A = this chain, B = another copy of it.
Amino acid sequence: MSSANADWNGKHVLVTGGAGFIGSHVADVLLARGARVTVFDDFSTGFREFIAPARENLRVVEGDLLDQARIGEAMRGVDFVFHLAANADIKDNLAQPRKCIDQNVVVTQNVLEAMRAAGAREIVFASTGSVYGETDLIPTPENAPFPVQTSLYATSKVAAEGLLTSYALGYGFRAWIFRFVSILGPRYTHGHVMDFWRKLRRDPSRLEVLGNGKQQKSYLNVSDCVAAILVAIDKAREPINIFNLGHGYWIEVDKSIGIITRTLGLSPRLEYGGGERGWVGDSPRILLDTSRIRALGWAPTKSIEESVVETLQFLATHPFSDRRS
C-alpha cells in the first residue's frame, strides 16, 4: 500500500461532515498521509474537538451545504471529495420529512454542482445498508433484488447514490459509494449505543427498548470502515464503484444491551416497546454481503463486541450528550 499512501500526498481533499464521527477520522488519516484537508461542517452534529489540534494542512470551513455559494467557494482548488455530511436522524425523519430530503438529496446535488464548477471529479459517498429495505436476501449483496424503500432516510440515500452515478456517466465523475451498517468507535455521536447510554445515565434502574430486542444488526468499527474506504479508492477505479461495508456477523439488540449494561455495571429492568421493528422504516435484520470489498484484501480487525465496549469508553470520557440533547 506504500504507493497508495503516496497518492494522497499533496492532494487537496474536501471532507463534508469532516468534524463528525466518520469524517474526522477520514481527515486524520488523510492528513497523516500528506493531504491538504478542508473540513466543511455546520457543527450541528460535529464537534471542534474532533478536528483538534490545528494543523498546517487543515482548513476548517463552517457552513451549511444548502448554501451553494459557500460550498462553491470551499471547493476551489479541491481534487477529491469525501461527502460524509448527512441528516442521520433516521428515527425522527417522519416528524420532519422535508429536512431529510433537503439535507441528503439537495445537499448532495449542491456538492456535485460545486465539484462540476471547480473541476473536481472524484467523490466518496456514505450511503447505507438501509437501501436494501426489508430484503429477504441475507447476507445482502450489492446486486440484491430491487428493494422497496421503507424509510425516508434510505430513500434519500438511494437518490443521492443515483445523483453520483448519473454525474459519473454524464459528466465524467468517478464515484465510490459505500453502503454502511452502523458504525461504532471513538467520536461516536448517535445511534443505539448512544441512546441506551443516555437513557441509563438518566435512570440506571430501567431501560426502554424500541421493538422486541430481537432485531439483528451488524456493526463495524470506524477504523475498519475508514481502512475499507481507502483500500477501495486505491484498488477500485471504475467510474462507479459500489461497496457494502459491514462485519461478517450480526448480534441481537438484546445482546448489545447485555454488553452495555455489563460494561457499565448496571442491571436495569428492560421495558420493550414491542414489535419486530424499533420504528417505522427500521430494518429488523441487517447483514451485508461484503465479499466485494473483501476481495480487495480488506477484512475487519475489531469484533462488534470490542467496538461496543470501545464506544462506551469513549462516551464515558467525552460526555457530549451533556451538551446537546
Contact = CB atoms under 8 A, between A and B. Distances in A.
Interface stretch (A59-67, A70-78, A148-156): A148-156
B94 A171 contact: yes
A28 interface: no
A132 B159 contact: no
A206 B132 CA distance: 48
A124 interface: no
Contacts of A101: 105-106, 109, 163
A113 B131 CA distance: 23
A280 B146 contact: no
A162 B170 contact: no
Interface in A89-120: 94, 97-98, 101, 105-106, 109, 112-113
A96 to B, nearest CB: 11
A146 B147 contact: yes
Contact of A132 (B146, B162, B165): B146
Interface in A150-196: 150-152, 154-156, 158-159, 161-163, 165-167, 169-171
A65 to B, nearest CB: 15
A122 to B, nearest CB: 17
A170 B94 contact: yes
Nearest to A132: B146
Given A98-B113, A109-B97, A155 B145 contact: no
Contacts of A159: 105, 155-156, 158-159, 162
A84 interface: no
A149 B161 contact: yes
B150 A146 contact: no
A98 B68 CA distance: 12
B170 A149 contact: no
Interface of A: 94, 97-98, 101, 105-106, 109, 112-113, 131-132, 142-152, 154-156, 158-159, 161-163, 165-167, 169-171, 240, 242, 280-281
Given A98-B113, A155-B165, 7 more contacts: A101-B106, A105-B159, A143-B146, A148-B165, A154-B162, A154-B166, A159-B162
8 pairs of A and B residues whose beta carbons are closest in the complex: A155-B162, A159-B159, A149-B162, A143-B145, A94-B170, A152-B166, A149-B165, A170-B280
